[in-house]
């Protein structure tokens, strides 16, 4: 299991990982995407 976490850490420190993280942060900051995520989570909770 430690191997997987090490690989994730290594990826997040790479240039491509940093770009991916930046894109995810921008996407998460968008109010429309937040509303979609809340709606999706709400549907999952109802089941």
Q: What is the pLDDT of residue 9?
A: 95
Cut 0.75: pTM above it: no
d(CA 44, CA 4): 28
Give pLDDT, residue 2: 79
Q: Average pLDDT for residues 7-12, to the nearest whole number?
A: 96
Cα separation, 5 vs 9, whole angstroms = 6
Q: Is the pLDDT of residue 1 over 70?
A: no
**What does the DSSP 8-state code read for residue 4?**
H
Q: How confident is the model at residue 47 (pLDDT cuts 50, 70, 90)?
A: confident
Average pLDDT over residues 15-28: 96
């Amino acid at each position: 299991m430690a191997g997987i976490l090490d690989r994730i850490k290594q990826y997040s420190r790479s240039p491509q990982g940093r770009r991916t993280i930046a894109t995810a942060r921008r996407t998460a900051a968008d109010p429309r995407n937040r509303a979609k995520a809340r709606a999706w989570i709400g549907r999952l909770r109802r089941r």
